Amino acid sequence: MGQPSVEDILREATGHHEAGRLAQAVALYRQAIAVSADSAAVYCNLGSALKSQGDVEGAMGCFQRALALAPDAPEVHNNLGNAYQQTGRLDEAADCYERAIALRSDYAEAHANLGSVRGEQGLHDEAIACCREALRLRPDSARIHSNLLYALHFHPASDSWSLYEEHRRWNEVHAAPLARFHRPHGNDPSPDRPLRMGYVSADFLAHPVGRFLAPLLPAHDRERFRIFCYASQARQDAMTRRLRSHAHVWRDVSAVDDERLAAMIRQDGIDILVDLTMHMAGSRLLVFARRPAPVQVTYLAYCGTTGLNAIDYRLSTAVLDAGGFAECCAERTMLLPATYWCYEPQGESPDAGGDSSLSRPGTPDRGGFGETALPLPMTLDTTRVPGEPPAARCGRVTFGCLNNFRKVTEPTLDAWCRVLAGAEGSRLVLHTHAGRHRRRVEEFLAARGIAPSRVTFAGFVPLAQYMHLYREIDIGLDPFPYGGGTTTCDALWMGVPVVSLVGSMPVSRSGLELLSQVGLADLAAGTVEQYVRVATELAGDLPRLRLLRGALRERMRRSRLMDGAGFARDVEAAYRMMWRRWCDETRV
């Protein structure tokens, strides 16, 4: 027999690629290139497989080679844009997506990806416009529609009811038709028996979701709750391995489609299935739409609603839901009694004194569209106590926001200008990728009388260095309307008080929830004017800054935010109540 043709090799490689057997796919794509090195499609496919393996630089080289062979291929421009975006090169990513759209105006995926980049650049109107155009072109795409839903949470004009209506549209178009897959569940309806819990996520990583799961999973009562984790991410890190060690059963479902995953969950006999992603990247809500478990819950990704009839409950707290938000939810709300989050510091936790570079670049390790996710060192040092606030050393106050830049809206920037104007000589540290959006921030501030030299940008760095950034920050400024979660906890742990603006949606009330846990509810403002006043008054109160710098870590330790065992009991009590309701309904 002769040598296999390129077509035969590609057919086999594609089969491995679609099944998630990336190593085999990569080897075959390389074999195809050895046979015929002038195929743009082979280089493009090899790049996609390498990117899935985590070799983004190798992927970019393949996509660039493909473009040299086929410069007018919109798919290759789009793929190169994805690689650029993953490495934080947002300007180059946007240029690639725009080129793909210029070559094919109806390329829905490129419009959606451009919307994602515009969101990361803080251009919320443009981000939503791109998402809506992508959805117009592909109204059947649940993923594109989810991108729109998530983007709307960051827009200053969004409100609870408009979000609810858009989420219900998602349910009607994408989830409701899957009700044909609903079948009765044969789970034993004994109210007090041990339960099989299923956690579904693409973020079992050094990601906000993974970080907040870290204290919960090991604290579960392993006799009363058998833990199954369905991991949708293709890669793993140290946090993945740690979380996996606390699961009774771990299933890698990154290459498993929704129908097969639903069947797997049903076969596992899961009693309560928990969604941890909602409409963020990697969402598996179409699995939940098939109702593979008798009780289905959403938690953690961000506090809101999925819009799905098939999800029975959402976890929240009275603080997050104040103002009647539960009326804007498809799910029944189950309130946790103490806190929505449980925090555990990761990596080395330095004291807050000394110097550090605020401009050192790094490579992001991102998972989904949530807050900044950074590489996780294996060591943990919680013995050092934060020292003097930097204002005591340099004579000027430094404000900072190390949140995902997607959360930095124009109303937020305007409020920060007023804060900087009211605190003479102060400066501001922001956390974002390099790119044209940095210049836009400088121009925005300059137009309001704030010298660009008063703003410093911190790039993506490893976690230990990210924590060191707080050594140069006196006061954290929470963005709005989507406030911080992980970053607020990190700031408080490092002795940095955070000023927050309280809104009407749960994502706008996270600051109040967290500050209340450490006795700083007075730093949560009800209006923009109060927000500016609280920040400027705190900037002028060095004795209080010094006191908080030394006391916040101990306040964190003593709060419910770091009581993993107590938090697990609260969550388990909520699960048990949900289960008993199902048992009661089943026996009727």
CATH number of the domain to which 420 belongs: 3.40.50.2000
From CA 223, how far away is CA 227, in angstroms rounded? 10
Residue keyed to tokens 């079948």:
183
Q: Do 487 and 514 form a contact (C-beta atoms < 8 A)?
A: no
Q: Angle CA(533)–CA(303)–CA(205) in degrees, nearest 5?
A: 105
DSSP string, 488-527: HHHHHHTT--EEEE--SSGGGSHHHHHHHHTT-GGGEESS
> Higher model confidence: residue 371 or residue 390?
390
Terminal-residue alpha carbon distance, the chain: 68
From CA 428, how far away is CA 456, in angstroms rounded? 6
545 and 399 in a single domain? The answer is yes
Q: Is 31 helix (H, G, I), strand (E, B) or coil?
A: helix
Residue that is last in its domain, among 128, 146, 172: 172
Q: Is residue 338 part of a domain?
A: yes
294 and 410 in a single domain? The answer is no
Kindly indicate the confidence band of residue 7, based on its pLDDT and cuts at 50, 70 and 90.
confident
536-545 pLDDT tens trace: 999 999 999 9
CATH number of the domain to which 35 belongs: 1.25.40.10
User: Which helix (H) or strand (E) element contains residue 567?
Assistant: helix 564-587
Q: Is residue 237 part of a domain?
A: yes
From CA 187, how far away is CA 338, in angstroms rounded? 31
Residues 6+ apart with CB under 8 A from 245: none
175-193 pLDDT tens trace: 999 999 999 999 999 999 9
| Residue span of the structural domain in which 475 resides | 390-560
Instruction: Kindly state the average pLDDT of the residues 19-23.
Output: 83
253 and 222 in a single domain? The answer is yes
Residues 6+ apart with CB under 8 A from 18: 255
pLDDT at 73: 96
Q: In what order do the strands lie in the sheet with 195-201?
A: 249-252, 225-231, 195-201, 272-275, 295-298, 313-316, 332-335
pLDDT above 60 for 368: no
204 and 323 in a single domain? The answer is yes
pLDDT at 461: 87
Residue that is last in its domain, among 172, 205, 233: 172
pLDDT averaged over every residue in the chain: 91
pLDDT above 60 for 381: no
What is the value of pTM for the model shown?
0.91
pLDDT at 143: 97
pLDDT above 70 for 8: yes
CA distances for 184 relative to 313, 577, 579, angstroms: 19, 21, 16
271-321 pLDDT tens trace: 999 999 999 999 999 999 999 999 999 999 999 999 999 999 999 999 999
231 and 325 in a single domain? The answer is yes
Q: Is residue 376 part of a domain?
A: no
pLDDT at 351: 60
Q: Is residue 210 part of a domain?
A: yes
555-578 pLDDT tens trace: 999 999 999 999 999 999 999 999
Strand partners, 455: 428
157 and 197 in a single domain? The answer is no
From CA 493, how far away is CA 559, in angstroms rounded? 12
CATH number of the domain to which 323 belongs: 3.40.50.11380
pLDDT at 286: 98
pLDDT above 60 for 244: yes
Joined tokens for residue 292? 């593979």
Kindly indicate the confidence band of residue 367, based on its pLDDT and cuts at 50, 70 and 90.
very low
pLDDT above 60 for 377: no
Kindly indicate the confidence band of residue 349, based on its pLDDT and cuts at 50, 70 and 90.
low
130 and 205 in a single domain? The answer is no
161 and 259 in a single domain? The answer is no
Q: Is residue 270 part of a domain?
A: yes
90-107 pLDDT tens trace: 999 999 999 999 999 999
pLDDT above 60 for 15: yes
Residue that is last in its domain, among 113, 143, 172: 172
How many structural domains are present in the chain?
Answer: 3
Residue 241 burial (CB < 10 Å; 0-12/13-18/19+)?
A: exposed
Q: Provide the pairing of β-strand 427-431 with 195-201.
A: unpaired
pLDDT at 356: 35
Joined tokens for residue 185? 């569940």
Kindly indicate the confidence band of residue 372, based on its pLDDT and cuts at 50, 70 and 90.
very low
Instruction: Kindly state the average pLDDT of the residues 435-444.
Output: 96
Q: Is residue 541 part of a domain?
A: yes
Q: Is residue 260 part of a domain?
A: yes
165 and 256 in a single domain? The answer is no
Q: Is residue 352 part of a domain?
A: no
From CA 23, how far away is CA 26, in angstroms rounded? 5
pLDDT at 387: 80
Return the minimum-mean-pLDDT range out of 342-356, 457-471, 479-493, 543-557.
342-356
Residues 6+ apart with CB under 8 A from 333: 313, 314, 316, 321, 326
329 and 447 in a single domain? The answer is no
126 and 253 in a single domain? The answer is no
434 and 305 in a single domain? The answer is no
pLDDT at 292: 98
Return the minimum-mean-pLDDT range out of 365-374, 476-485, 521-530.
365-374
